[in-house]
Structure 1
Amino acid sequence: MRQPILLPIPREILFTGDQHPLPVNSTIRISQQSLLFSAQAVQTALKDHIDREWPIEASSSAFTSGFNLTIQTELAPQAYSVDIANGRINIQGGDEAAIFYGVQTFIQLLKTYGDQFPDIHIKDHPDYPVRGVMLDISRDRVPRMETVYALVDLLASWKLNHLQLYMEHSFAYSQHKTVWEDASPFTAQEILDLQAYCRQRHIDLVPNQNSFGHMERWLKHSDYKHLAECADGFIGDFGDHMGERRPATSLNPTDQASIALISELYDELLPNFTSEFFNVGGDEPWEMGQCASKALCEAVGRGRVYVDYLLKLYDLVKARGKTMIFWADVITKYPELLPDMPKDMIALEWGYYVGHPYSEHAPMFAQSGIPFYVCPGTSSWNTLSGRTDNAIGNIRDAVKTGLEYGASGVLMTDWGDRGHWQPLPISYLGYAYGLGMAWCAETNETMEIPTVLNQFAFEDSAGVMGQVMAELGNLYQLDGLAYPNGSLLFFLLQLNNNDLNAFISNLDTHVVTDQFFGLKESSLRECLDRLNDLRQRLHRTRMEREDATLIIEEVGLVIDLLAHACKRGLHLLGDVRFSSESLYTELEALIVRQRANWLERSRPGGLEHSLLRFKPVLRQYQGYDFTDDTPSYL
């Protein structure tokens, strides 16, 4: 019997008989009216795929024929079964969400078998009760509502049940227009509309507002500068920003006015959400202890100051009837303070590279009694094309370690660092593998990712697009192009010559031995060859999505931008075929395409700021002297 392609792959599939045609005329019956939306999804799929028009009816009687959706309280929440025999279909679930998940599995079976179904029994339930995605909408790119709705539909079909929109300045707070007026922010009504859309699909839309670090888009304005830990900026002491002056990013944790501002934001944001959860952020308060809180940090310790501020946020959240979620990167540095943390908050243990110490951090939370989610990433940011193998390994490590130590959720993060240049389809690979693993790690760990992407992400009947995306996402592994949390090709598009060297020399994982830190001509030429091959294969796809033409243009532009990065690298190594003048002209044309593609899925706010990140390279081509400039990677 032909095995179906499914995402996620259920934990139990049993073929029980031969194939039988689905009847031309039948009825979709629901045991209660709350299952109507799931029944309508079945109805639409039958019409779209095999031209069947089956009516829906509600009945409390036992079902003996037709297509039946039934709540069975003996089953666990989210657990479902699908039984198909002689053209009769029974989907049972422990709750309404479980019925919806069973329906999504049936619709995927329909794509495989059409109107000739084998007798089959599927029994399924998730490893993790919470399976989420967090989409960055604060690093310049704010998606249009149509984009978010389409993404919700896609991820709901893969059994997502938790969605966060990462916000710094991208909600239209009524008293803070100065902060968001150039960002095309989400409005309260848009959140309410999206929440209703998510709720139908059994997705919890969870509010998210960073409340400590990553507040630079607030603190750069005069009305808020006084709230900063370091109002005049600070000297970076981390990673690729070591020794560089940075603008203010973190609130002063010792100033009650900081809490007053955050309290005001919560009062306006939270009434628009029904979720019981709220992510307050709290990650990366880089300069804490350098300026306003320096004396206190020296007296009681940086960890103590952080925890005391976090507890103030906890009180605000608790008073508003929510459960606080927070990023755990700081508290894992001070495990001795975990006993001081309330047990009714949720820690987000995050890390985005293969080898992140999930196995060291997860036991801290398990032993402390603080619930936690594991939070791997799509590896899409700082790359344009993703990092396929890193994403797979990072997700696998996080999910399996979380299962071992009792994590209650998986939150896939999809960031937009340095201008959010990558188009949305680059993230589909990470979403698919992450949600599959979060549902059932045992059956999804070795999924055939390109096949799954062809079927359910790109709807490519030619079977090409999934492999193109997987290979495109592995170009970062070519010798000399790898970089922690990104790809060197990406930075060849953003940094001037001086900053390329300074940027890499600040990474403790690199040793710089000569100018341009070991760019390898052979790797750049091989990369160009691979990109040319991928470009040709891209045009052999037969995607049946409504946005197929846009996807081809988006991915084609990614290929062309990466090719430009290779040419710039070769130019730096002395290849006379690629002059500054020709590269300047080519990059200007690529920027025009980036602008057009952006506006197809995203709002105009943030676009110009994102495109400014091309400026250092354009100016380099024009011969500008950057000696006294602020580094372009800040």
Structure 2
Amino acid sequence: MNIYPPPKAFRLHDCWTATDSRLVHVSYSISPRLRRAINSFCQKHHLELAEKIQGRNVLVTINRVNASPQSYSLKNTNKGITLEAANDDGIFYGLATLDQFITYSGSRLQCFTIQDQPDFECRAVMLDISRCKVPKMNTLFMIIDNLAALKINQLQLYVEHTFAFKQHRTVWKNSSPLTAGQLSEIRDYCYDRFIELVPNLNSFGHFERWLRHPEYRKYAECPDGFVHPLTDKRVPFGSTLKPNQKSLKLIAGLYDEYLPIFDSQYFNVGGDEPWELGHGWSAKQCEQKGTAQVYVSFMHKIKHMVEKYGKQTMFWADIVLKYPESIKILSEDLTALVWGYEADHPFEQECKQIASRDLSFYVCPGTSSWNSITGRQTNATKNLNSAAVNGFKYGAKGYLITDWGDHGHHQYLPISFGGLTSGACHAWNHKAARCITLPDAIHRIWLPEQEKLSTLLVQLGEIPDGIDVGLRNASIFNHLLFWDMRKETIFSKKLTEEQLGVLQQQLWELFEEIDVMPTTLVSNELSNALCMAIHSLDRLALFRGYGNHARDPKKTMRDIIARHRILWKMRNRLGGLAESNSFLYQSEKCL
């Protein structure tokens, strides 16, 4: 019997529960939230919550005991099941485990003993809802339900411009943003599933969605644009706020409207990748005081604003790690988010640096879904494991699984299932997480009616990592799909004709397997992802003049775009679709 996340201690006994009772009894007075959770559990499994048992047999007895926070124990004997924990959280996690056990045990329950508690106090997921995709409410609720089953207890929705600020319609008008009422609904839905909805609003860098508009250019460090250090291409507008009082006044107004929606004790203000800092308005300051000092000073001013709302500031730690001297001047009541997304990211070095300052911190790996089309499951598995091992070693308070949507968010939601599932298992029990059967875990948590697709999903995600062409934070499929085809890149040159043929065969074999399966939303999503990946390789073969090309590449691309439009609207709001498709249209023009 597999349980996800794997319990710390799980022993099956050679006996079976004899009682035919359908009663659940709680031996103490419980909170309304826990009562709702128990009632939901009972409804799913056709059980009855009994206030008084009066000598009747009971299937599940729930007791409160002295134990570690969030821990629980489950014991099933021939007389029934006992669930014990110190608090509501522990009872909820015990119910999540018991739910899986009952669901996959059939009509007979084997006796067992479980002792369990998490490795990380805070187990979080961050979904990117600013790079084009804003999920529909029912999509978010589905995700939240499954994260709760995986014992995730924090959720962040990454916001740059996709909240409907009353005074800033220009910024969000084409993005289908979340409203205050909808965020409140999401917050309450999370609360009932023992998940804390943590506000997330980038407040320094990654402000390009605002600064591209003429009325906001005055806030930009470089209002006339800058050369992006990652691409060496000129961006015609800024992405970083001036670290001055006017910028603070702007974001203070945003906080006034945004933060009262949340009851979380935390607030992620971002602060990562302020690319232009020191190259525009603040150049003189940075030259005199040092870029690190200017950065930390502005972040401390943001922190003081956040404190007015009774919240603790979270921030991405890339800049302070780049300038180690800045770690010494950081306020001790900040929570640093140590992020990195490659298999070889130096989590040990970075965790050690942050821990040396006694700062509270989270490790933040990723699902490796973005810039991939098909996923990069092998990379994700190693990245998630390294973050857990080193976060646990150096005393990280939390483990945050990030799921980004860079450059058009072309990966479909199921591509992230493997990373979210593996990451949740690492956050709870990092040693056992290395040994899980990932297709089975995806099947049980996300795709209960689609076992074969769960296997194909993992196989698809493992293909791009099989051939190393030196790409970082992307797959060869994504790279070639959006390649301008003017000349070969340093990465495409490393792909031999033989390797190209092997990749094409692997993709076609998966496509044919999916093509004969019953049609579902997930099968359609994987089918179009495969079409994108196959087309990406066809582009290189066409450029090099390999073989015959019976398929019209332009028609293939138009078909991909048409299906992408349909599939997008199944799970997401319309805003952002035009931008996502613009990348695909540009790819078609290059043929």
Report the TM-score range of the alignment, normalised by the length of the smaller protein: over 0.9
Contact kept in structure 2, 1:476 and 1:482, CA below 8 Å: no
Which residue does 1:593 correspond to in 2?
563
The 1:195–1:243 alpha-carbon spacing in structure 2 relative to 1, beyond 3 Å, is closer
Supply the distance in 2 between the matched residues of 1:377 and 1:426 (Cα, whole angstroms).
12
The match for 2:317 is 328
1:169 aligns with 2:169: no
Deviates more, 1:395-404 or 1:362-371: 362-371
For 1:5 and 1:541, the matched residues in 2 are separated by 26
Answer yes or no: is 1:485 the counterpart of 2:473: yes
Aligned partners of 1:38 and 1:99 also within 8 Å: no
Question: Using the alignment, how far apart are the partners of 1:256 and 1:12 within structure 2?
Answer: 54
**CA pair 590-107 structure 1, distance change in 2 beyond 3 A:** same
Deviations along 1:573-592, one digit per CA (max 9) or x if unpaired, are 1135238x810011101100
Q: Which of residues 525, 545, 568 in structure 2 aligns to 1:574?
A: 545
1:465 to 444, 453, 465: 453
Task: Name the SS for the 2:284 alignment partner.
Answer: helix
Correspondence 1:620 to 2:590: yes
Structure 2 residue identity aligned to 1:19: W
Between the aligned partners of 1:221 and 1:263, the Cα distance in structure 2 is 19
Q: Quick one: which amino acid aligns to residue 222 of structure 1?
A: P
Q: Does 1:551 align with 2:522?
A: yes
1:58 & 1:314 partners in 2: Cα distance?
47
Mapped contact 1:234–1:287 kept (Cα < 8 A): yes
The share of aligned pairs that are identical, in percent, is: 34
- Cα gap change, 1:31 to 1:522, in 2 (>3 Å): same
Contact 2:22-2:58 within 8 A present in 1 as well: no
Q: Residue 262 of structure 1: SS of its match in structure 2?
A: helix
Counterpart residue type for residue 225 of structure 1:
R
In structure 2, the residue matched to 1:627 is none
CA distance in 2, matches of 1:280, 1:245: 24
Other structure's SS at 2:259 match: helix
TM-score (norm 2): 0.96
Residue equivalent to 1:259: 248
2:49 aligned partner: 56
Match of 1:208 in 2: 200
What is the SS of the residue equivalent to 1:483?
coil
State the alpha-carbon separation in 1 of the partners of residues 36 and 517 from structure 2: 33
* Contact 1:127–1:440, Cα closer than 8 Å, also in 2: yes
In the alignment, is the contact (CA less than 8 A) between 1:347 and 1:373 conserved in 2?
yes
* Structure 2 counterpart of 1:166, one-letter code: Y
Structure 2: which amino acid aligns with 1:526? V
Q: Per-residue deviation at 1:520?
A: 2.4
**Given the superposition, is the C-alpha separation of residues 291 and 90 from structure 1 closer, same or farther in structure 2, using an over 3 Å criterion?**
same
Q: Name the structure 2 match of 1:395.
A: 384
What SS does the aligned partner of 1:58 have?
Answer: coil
Deviation at 1:362, TM superposition (A): 0.7
Question: Which residue of 514, 522, 532 corresponds with 1:538?
Answer: 514
| Residues 22/433 of structure 1: CA separation in 2 closer, same or farther (3 Å cut) | farther
**Is 1:438 aligned to residue 413 of structure 2?**
no
Kept after mapping to 2: 8 A contact 1:478/1:523: no
Cα distance in structure 2, aligned partners of 1:172 and 1:82? 45
Measure the CA separation in 2 of the matches of 1:497 and 1:226: 38
Give the distance between the partners of 2:537 and 2:24, measured in 1 at CA: 58
Q: Cα gap change, 1:80/1:480 in structure 2, threshold over 3 Å: closer, same or farther?
A: closer
Q: Provide the residue aligned with 2:462 in structure 1.
A: 474
CA distance in 2, matches of 1:327, 1:246: 25
Q: Does residue 404 of structure 1 match 2:393?
A: yes
Instruction: Tell me the distance in 1 between the aligned counterparts of 2:156 and 2:246.
Output: 27
Q: Quote the residue 1:15 is aligned against.
A: 12
Count of paired positions: 589
Match of 1:291 in 2: 280
Listed as ranges, the matches of 1:309-328 within 5 Å are: 309-328=298-317
Counterpart residue type for residue 534 of structure 2: A
Contact 2:157 2:200 in 1 (8 A): yes
Match of 1:36 in 2: 35
- 1:409-441 per-residue CA deviation (whole Å, 9 max, x = no partner) reads 000000000000111111010011100011011
CA displacement at 1:366 relative to structure 2: 1.0
1:185 aligned onto 2:201: no
C-alpha separation between the residues in 1 aligned to 2:415 and 2:469?
19
User: What are the residue-to-residue correspondences of 1:485-564 with 2, within 5 Å?
Assistant: 485-498=473-486, 501=488, 504=489, 517-539=493-515, 549-564=520-535
CA distance in 2, matches of 1:407, 1:414: 20
**Counterpart residue number, 1:51:** none
Q: Closer, same or farther in 2 for the Cα pair 1:62/1:176, shift >3 Å?
A: farther
Aligned to 1:398, what secondary structure does the other structure show?
Answer: helix
Structure 2: runs of 5+ lacking an equivalent: none
Distance in 2 separating the partners of 1:167 and 1:409? 20
Match of 1:123 in 2: 115
Tell me how far apart the structure 1 counterparts of residues 252 and 232 of structure 2 sit (CA, whole Å).
Answer: 33
Letter in 1 for 2:501: R
Query: CA contact under 8 A between 2:439 and 2:455: conserved in structure 1?
Result: yes
Tell me, yes or no, if the aligned pair for 2:22 and 2:48 is still in contact at 8 Å.
no
1:67 is aligned to: 60
Larger mean CA deviation between 397-406 and 467-476 belongs to: 467-476
Question: Are 1:23 and 1:87, in contact at CA under 8 Å, matched by a contact in 2?
Answer: no
Q: Kindly provide the amino acid, as one letter, of the partner of residue 569 in structure 2.
A: L
Cα distance in structure 2, aligned partners of 1:557 and 1:380: 15
1:299/1:62 Cα in 2 relative to 1: closer, same or farther (>3 Å)? farther
Asked if 1 retains the 8 angstrom alpha-carbon contact of 2:515 and 2:527, the reply is: no
For 1:450, the equivalent position in structure 2 comes to 439
**Which residue of 237, 240, 250 maps to 1:247?**
237
Deviation at 1:92, TM superposition (A): 1.1
AA in 2 matched with 1:425: P
Q: Residues 19 and 59 of structure 2 are in contact (CA less than 8 Å); yes or no, is this contact kept in structure 1? A: no
CA distance in 1: counterparts of 2:249 and 2:309, whole angstroms: 15
Deviations 1:329-373 (A, max 9, x none): 000112222222111110000000011111111111111011000
Q: Report the equivalent of 1:626.
A: none
CA distance 1:398–1:27, change in 2 (3 Å): closer
**Structure 1 residues 604 and 21 mapped into 2: Cα distance closer, same or farther (>3 Å)?**
farther
Aligned to 1:565: 536
Q: Which residue of 1 aligns with 2:136?
A: 144
Cα deviation, residue 460, structure 1: 4.3
Tell me the SS of whatever aligns to 2:402. strand
Q: Contact between 2:347 and 2:386, CA under 8 Å: does it hold in 1?
A: yes
Deviation at 1:61, TM superposition (A): 9.6
| Letter matched to residue 566 of structure 1 | L
SS across alignment from 1:223: helix
1: CA distance, partners of 2:300 / 2:54? 53
Aligned partners of 1:29 and 1:66 also within 8 Å:
no
2:532 and 2:124 map into 1 onto residues whose CA distance is: 31
**Which ranges of structure 1 fall in alignment gaps of 5 or more residues?**
48-53, 511-515, 543-547, 622-634
Distance 2:304 2:52 in 1: 47
Greater CA drift, 61-70 or 377-386:
61-70
Distance, in Å, in 2 between the alignment partners of 1:300 and 1:59 is 70
- The whole-number CA distance in structure 2 between the counterparts of 1:533 and 1:26 is 49
CA change 1:87–1:540 in 2 (3 A) is farther
Indicate how the Cα distance of structure 1 residues 541 and 15 shifts in structure 2: closer, same or farther if over 3 A, else same.
Answer: farther
Cα distance in structure 2, aligned partners of 1:557 and 1:348: 34
Contact 1:29–1:59 (8 Å) recurs in 2: no
TM-score between the two structures when normalised by the length of structure 1? 0.89
Deviations 1:364-404 (A, max 9, x none): 11110110000000000000111011000000000100011
**For 1:133 and 1:327, how far apart are their aligned partners in 2?**
15
User: Cα–Cα, structure 1 residues 219 and 30, in superposed 2: closer, same or farther, change >3 Å?
Assistant: farther
